[in-house]
Amino acid sequence: MQADIFLKTLLDLLALDAPTGHEEHVATYILNYLISLGFSAKKDTHGNVIGSLQGTGNALLLCAHMDRVPPGRGHTPVRDGDILKSDGTTNLGVDDAGGIAIILEAVSYIVRNRIPHPTIVLAFTVGEEVGLRGARAIDLSAYPIEWGIVYDNANEAGSMVSSGATYEGFDVEIIGKANHPAKDLSQSINALQIFMEIDWMIGLSDDNKSRINIGLISGGTARNVVPGNLKVQGELRSILNDSEVAAKLKKIEENIKIVCNKYGATHTFTNDRHFSSYSVDLSEPLVQVYKNVVESKGRNFVTQSTYIGSDTSALRGEKGIKVFTISTGVVHEHTKDEWVKISDLVMLTEDLVDVIKKLKK
């Protein structure tokens, strides 16, 4: 696998705009690429791109997501030897252009070299960065999929994610009473004061099985007004079971209610599950094939758990498709310091080619 050929595809993808909700330019690029290889390819009603190539045996699903975090616009990466990095003005966008390039270049190599292969189904999804929307909505029931691999960032390059956490987003509004700060403060109910007194249980808990974060706080109307209302957006990520997760969310709301009652305020609390936890049985046939490919090249087969969501959380955790995530090894993703080793991405492409070869029946 030639690094320059791979890099051209990756740079082509990075040059295209792909913020969440506007993945159409990348979708068109992928559609044209797949059709040129002889794939049957289409875009579904949600914007996902689905491609298929008939082979021998049950289908192998390969998946990556098309959207990027803001700004998500065309990127101008800088190459420094084996490193591809951001130019410092924006994030790099290799999450998940790297995963797309791995899949496209692997199937291109298979097709152009006329290598026997199983039926291959490709899914390039929208809205992964905002709750796995494309993966949750995609319909793959028409394809005889037996197993699959999702390429996305989670850990070091080539490591397999053996388990993923449940993700619950929660939204809270604290409803107090605004007032002029120079008047009778007994007539005020300061929503910010209430927020600061609540035990949100932020950070790690349950022997590192759970973590809670408050990401957004908004409220108040002016500098010279006691803030009467406050809105909070937070998240709970946990590998606890569903009843334990529900109990933890209930405890958060109880803590909110106690402080609100103390000051005569009210509140609203809603939660929304973005994805569910899952675990991968390491004895599954595709896992063993991947492991054998990695170890045959003198590398260690590494498995890791993660709190980071990926399309695997939807495809496996909700749809029951036996997929697992292979990390692309992007470092400092979503930031201006984002970078990746080109050689790692090429290595993963070569690994995928070898996996496909072994799956031919």
Share above pLDDT 70 across residues of the chain, in percent, rounded to a whole number: 99
Question: Does this chain's domain 3-164+277-359 share its CATH topology with 166-275?
Answer: no
Supply the pLDDT for residue 275: 87
Q: In which band, very low, low, confident or very high, does the pLDDT at 204 lie, cut at 50, 70 and 90?
A: very high
In whole angstroms, give the CA distance from residue 311 to residue 323: 9
Q: Please choose, from the candidates 113, 127, 110, the residue with its C-alpha nearest in 3D space to the C-alpha of residue 49.
A: 127
Q: Is 0.85 surpassed by the pTM of this model?
A: yes
Angle of helix 342-359 relative to helix 285-296, nearest 10 degrees?
Answer: 130
Supply the pLDDT for residue 308: 87
* Cβ 236 vs Cβ 249: under 8 Å: yes
pLDDT in tens, 19-74: 999 999 999 999 999 999 999 999 999 999 999 999 987 899 999 999 999 888 88
Q: What are the sequence ranges of the domains in the chain? A: 3-164+277-359, 166-275
3-7, 272-276, 300-304, range with greatest mean pLDDT: 300-304
pLDDT in tens, 119-178: 999 999 999 998 899 999 999 999 989 899 999 987 899 999 999 999 999 999 999 999
- Beta pairing, strands 83-85 & 78-80: antiparallel
For residues 179-205, give the mean pLDDT: 96
Q: In which band, very low, low, confident or very high, does the pLDDT at 12 lie, cut at 50, 70 and 90?
A: very high
79: burial class by Cβ within 10 Å (0-12, 13-18, 19+)? exposed
Question: CA 188, 193, 196: angle at the middle one, nearest 5?
Answer: 165
pLDDT in tens, 229-261: 999 999 999 999 999 999 999 999 999 999 999
Q: In which band, very low, low, confident or very high, does the pLDDT at 1 lie, cut at 50, 70 and 90?
A: low
pLDDT in tens, 270-301: 999 988 889 999 999 999 999 999 999 999 99
Question: CA 104, 327, 312: angle at the middle one, nearest 5?
Answer: 85
Query: In the predicted model, what is the mean pLDDT of the chain?
Result: 95
Q: Fold for domain 3-164+277-359?
A: Aminopeptidase (3.40.630)
Tokens encoding 144: 């005889």
The strand ranges marked E within the chain are 40-43, 49-53, 59-65, 78-80, 83-85, 120-125, 145-152, 160-164, 166-175, 203-205, 210-219, 229-238, 266-275, 278-279, 303-306, 323-327, 339-341
Residue indicated by tokens 């070898």: 354
CA 33 to chain centre: 24
Supply the pLDDT for residue 361: 58
In whole angstroms, give the CA distance from residue 168 to residue 199: 18
Instruction: CATH number for 166-275: choose from 3.30.70.360, 3.30.70.2190, 3.40.30.10, 3.40.1360.10.
Output: 3.30.70.360
